[in-house]
Chain A
Amino acid sequence: MSFLNYLVSGLSLGSIYAIIALGYTMVYGIAKMLNFAHGDVIMIGGYMCFFAVQRFNLPPVLGVIIAMLACTLLGIIIERLAYKPLRSAPSLAVLITAIGVSYFLQNAAQLLWSSNPKVFKSVVGNGVLTIGGEGGLIVSHVALLTVVVCVIIMVGLTLFVNKTKMGKAMRAVSEDKGAAQLMGIDVNRTISITFAIGSGLAAIAGVLLCSAYPTLQPTTGSMPGIKAFTAAVFGGIGSIPGAFLGGILLGVIENLAKAYISTQLSDAIVFGVLIVVLLVKPAGLLGKAVREKV
């Protein structure tokens, strides 16, 4: 039974990675930039929910909504102030700016809320579900919620991108900004909306992450952020199902490596697998190799 338990907690961790990776992949797919501050938006989301629920005693649902609103707004502001002026700049400049924004957010959080870790109370409590009686499969409510939320987000985003006018416009912008403009699509607005969606997702990821791993500090988002970025590349950056698959696989591999091989080496194993996958499939598991038609 212990294998199943490891698998379930791996799925839950993987779902958190997947939600973060979906944010990365959306922004990369449409704006063609790696938003390295994404992980830190997660941390801000965690703090927002923490203050709403544990300081102002608001119900957890409201806490999540406040975190989402705050992060969406933050995402829009970051995009407007830091990235929009660089729209036609080389991608390296944007990348460095994103790293700068990441450090800015971490340091701002440290200044505002100190670097002392806060103990985050799970938004769904610490209850567990036991399947198969004594010694059976134990699934925490948080794990269950995380997996369910992740699947809902993945399906929702897929439908949004494929079925709605805005989603299709995003795909058009992702392929060819100039041609999208000639269709009458406001490219700047489309990119802003993409950031808003990505940041809203980051808030959800933040709340779920802190519910599962209850220490909240200014650097909380950075390691999950990097791993989720890895997951997005692993699955094929730009692809929504790819981010989902990459996130889940990364979480499961990490957890099983921790359980059966070595806790210290788990990260090395995860990144080792990534390197092997990219050697075999450079575009990632579900990534499309770019075909140039002349």
Chain B
Amino acid sequence: MGEILKVDDINVYYGSIHAIKGISFSVNEGEIVTLIGANGAGKSTTLNTVSGLLRSKTGSITFMGEDMGKIPPHKVVEKGLVMVPEGRRIFTQMTVEENLEMGAYTQDPKGIKASLEEVYELFPRLAERRTQVGGTLSGGEQQMLAMGRALMAKPKLIMLDEPSMGLAPLLVDHIFAIISHLHETGATILLVEQNAQAALSIADRAYVLETGKITLTGTGKELLTNEAVKKAYLGA
């Protein structure tokens, strides 16, 4: 259970706006770690910085012992650090299968068929719709496609940005069941969620973000019962 991702004192700016103020956290192999917080707390910004789409002015991001500070985002994927972006961002004019093939862009083409089978086994709904273009899928199916597409890259760490956003409660449960299932099969997951209840109940560890700073950390169970968290995020 070694440390797979270490984020140390990152500061991210949007122009003059200081969005992330000295955040540090880590993810160990096999863990689900979640970042929770309100809108605008900096959760997505943090993930975008880890995946290389944004850059930190200070500190370091180390993934599997390697400094990711200067690595362009498309190379980050090659290293096994894969993100499912907020709002899914599937390719709406490409078929389900083409979307999945794009997920395996960095992979040896020989292995794609086997990966496709694995993803279809996990998401039978995608198998049914493999020749349909992405834009015709429902929100839940699009989320499954976005997750399947990330799995095609054989990630060592998968980052999920708001997977439950805009989904009906039943689908949220389904998506979280799949995340738990991935966790049980050994995947390492960094999960960003506004749905704190759902995220904390499956997370090994959690960090609470408030206006660009980490204000609280603990195991998922600890935070579920924490009074401050209850008040602010669980609606108790």
Q: Is the CB of B153 within 8 A of A184?
A: yes
Question: B135 contacts which of A183, A184, A293 (Cβ < 8 Å)?
Answer: A293
Contacts known (A168-B102, A178-B53, A182-B82); A293 close to B73, Cβ less than 8 A: no
Contact with B along A162-203 (1 / 0, CB 8 A): 000100110110011011111111110000000000000000
Q: Is the CB of A165 within 8 A of B109?
A: yes
CB nearest to A168 among chain B residues: B98
B88 to chain A, nearest CB (A): 9
Q: Is the CB of B109 within 8 A of A187?
A: no
- B187 part of interface (Cβ distance < 8 Å): no
- B181 part of interface (Cβ distance < 8 Å): no
A220 to chain B, nearest CB (A): 36
- B105 part of interface (Cβ distance < 8 Å): yes
- A288 vs B93: C-alpha distance when bound (angstroms): 10
Question: A184 contacts which of B74, B89, B90, B93 (Cβ < 8 Å)?
Answer: B74
- A180 vs B91: C-alpha distance when bound (angstroms): 9
Contacts known (A182-B85, A184-B153, A291-B135); A171 close to B91, Cβ less than 8 A: yes
Contacts known (A168-B102, A184-B105, A184-B106); A179 close to B77, Cβ less than 8 A: no
- A176 vs B75: C-alpha distance when bound (angstroms): 17
- A288 vs B82: C-alpha distance when bound (angstroms): 31
- B140 part of interface (Cβ distance < 8 Å): no
Q: Which residues of A contact B102 (CB under 8 A)?
A: 168-169, 172, 180, 183, 185
Q: A181-B73, A184-B106 are in contact. List 10 more A-B contacts (CB 8 A).
A: A175-B91, A176-B89, A179-B89, A179-B90, A182-B51, A182-B77, A183-B74, A183-B105, A183-B106, A183-B153
- A179 vs B74: C-alpha distance when bound (angstroms): 10
A88 to chain B, nearest CB (A): 12
**Chain A at the B interface: mostly helix, strand, loop or mixed?**
helix
Q: Which residues of B contact A187 (CB under 8 A)?
A: 74
B116 to chain A, nearest CB (A): 14
Q: Is the CB of B91 within 8 A of A179?
A: yes
- A165 vs B104: C-alpha distance when bound (angstroms): 10
**Count of chain B residues with a beta carbon within 8 Å of a chain A beta carbon:** 27
- B94 part of interface (Cβ distance < 8 Å): yes
Contacts known (A172-B94, A184-B77); A178 close to B89, Cβ less than 8 A: yes
B78 to chain A, nearest CB (A): 6
Contacts known (A184-B77, A184-B153); A293 close to B92, Cβ less than 8 A: yes
Q: Which residues of B contact A171 (CB under 8 A)?
A: 91, 93-94, 98
CB nearest to B101 among chain A residues: A168
Q: Which residues of B contact A178 (CB under 8 A)?
A: 53, 85, 89
What are 17 A-to-B residue pairs whose CB atoms are below 8 Å? A165-B105, A168-B98, A169-B105, A176-B89, A178-B53, A181-B74, A182-B51, A182-B77, A182-B82, A182-B85, A183-B103, A183-B149, A184-B105, A184-B106, A185-B102, A187-B74, A293-B92
Residues of A at under 8 Å CB distance from B? 165, 168-169, 171-172, 175-176, 178-187, 288, 291, 293
Q: What's the count of A-B pairs with C-beta under 8 Å? A: 68
- B189 part of interface (Cβ distance < 8 Å): no
CB nearest to B78 among chain A residues: A184
Residues of B at under 8 Å CB distance from A? 51, 53, 72-75, 77-78, 82-83, 85, 89-94, 98, 101-103, 105-106, 109, 135, 149, 153
Contacts known (A165-B105, A165-B109, A168-B101); A185 close to B135, Cβ less than 8 A: no
Contacts known (A172-B91, A291-B135); A181 close to B53, Cβ less than 8 A: yes
Most chain B beta-carbon neighbours within 10 Å: one of A179, A186, A291, A293: A179
Q: Is the CB of B73 within 8 A of A168?
A: no
- A179 vs B53: C-alpha distance when bound (angstroms): 10
- A183 vs B103: C-alpha distance when bound (angstroms): 5
- A172 vs B95: C-alpha distance when bound (angstroms): 11
Q: Is the CB of A179 within 8 A of B92?
A: no
Closest 7 CB pairs of A and B: A184-B77, A184-B106, A179-B89, A181-B73, A183-B105, A183-B102, A184-B105
Most chain A beta-carbon neighbours within 10 Å: one of B77, B83, B91: B91
A181 to chain B, nearest CB (A): 4
- A293 vs B142: C-alpha distance when bound (angstroms): 11
A177 to chain B, nearest CB (A): 10
Q: Which residues of B contact A165 (CB under 8 A)?
A: 101, 105, 109
A90 to chain B, nearest CB (A): 16
CB nearest to A180 among chain B residues: B102
Q: Which residues of A contact B98 (CB under 8 A)?
A: 168, 171
- A183 vs B106: C-alpha distance when bound (angstroms): 8
B157 to chain A, nearest CB (A): 14
- A175 vs B82: C-alpha distance when bound (angstroms): 19
- A293 vs B135: C-alpha distance when bound (angstroms): 8
Q: Is the CB of A185 within 8 A of B91?
A: no
